[in-house]
A and B are shown apart, each in its own frame.
Chain A
Amino acid sequence: TQLLEQSPQFLSIQEGENLTVYCNSSSVFSSLQWYRQEPGEGPVLLVTVVTGGEVKKLKRLTFQFGDARKDSSLHITAAQPGDTGLYLCAGAKDNFNKFYFGSGTKLNVKP
Chain B
Amino acid sequence: GAVVSQHPSWVICKSGTSVKIECRSLDFQATTMFWYRQFPKQSLMLMATSNEGSKATYEQGVEKDKFLINHASLTLSTLTVTSAHPEDSSFYICSARDLGGQYEQYFGPGTRLTVT
A40 in contact with B112 (CB, 8 Å): yes
A43 in contact with B107 (CB, 8 Å): yes
Q: Is A44 an interface residue, CB under 8 A from the partner? A: yes
A98 in contact with B46 (CB, 8 Å): yes
A101 in contact with B49 (CB, 8 Å): no
A101 in contact with B103 (CB, 8 Å): no
CA A98 to CA B59, docked complex, whole Å: 10
Q: Is B44 an interface residue, CB under 8 A from the partner? A: yes
Task: Mark out the residues of chain B between 12 and 36 whose CB falls within 8 Å of any chain A CB in the assembled complex.
Answer: 32, 34, 36
Q: List residues of chain B with CB within 8 A of the CB of A102.
A: 43
Closest Cβ of chain A to B8, distance in Å, is: 13
Number of chain B residues whose Cβ lies closer than 8 Å to a Cβ of chain A: 26
CA A35 to CA B105, docked complex, whole Å: 11
A41 in contact with B103 (CB, 8 Å): no
Residue-wise, chain A 79-111 has the 8 Å CB interface mask toward B (1 for contact) of: 000000000101010001111111110100000
CA A5 to CA B67, docked complex, whole Å: 27
Of A41, A50, A97, the residue contacting B49 (CB under 8 A) is A97
CA A3 to CA B49, docked complex, whole Å: 17
A2 in contact with B103 (CB, 8 Å): no
B34 in contact with A99 (CB, 8 Å): yes
Q: Is A25 an interface residue, CB under 8 A from the partner? A: no
Q: List residues of chain A with CB within 8 A of the CB of B4.
A: 42
Output the residue of B36, B95, B105 with the most chain A CB within 10 A.
B105
Given the contacts A41-B110, A42-B107, A97 and B43 also touching, CB distance less than 8 Å = no
A103 in contact with B32 (CB, 8 Å): no
A43 in contact with B44 (CB, 8 Å): yes
B43 in contact with A45 (CB, 8 Å): no
Given the contacts A98-B46, A104-B42, A42 and B109 also touching, CB distance less than 8 Å = yes
Closest 7 CB pairs of A and B: A42-B107, A104-B43, A101-B44, A101-B43, A31-B103, A48-B103, A42-B109
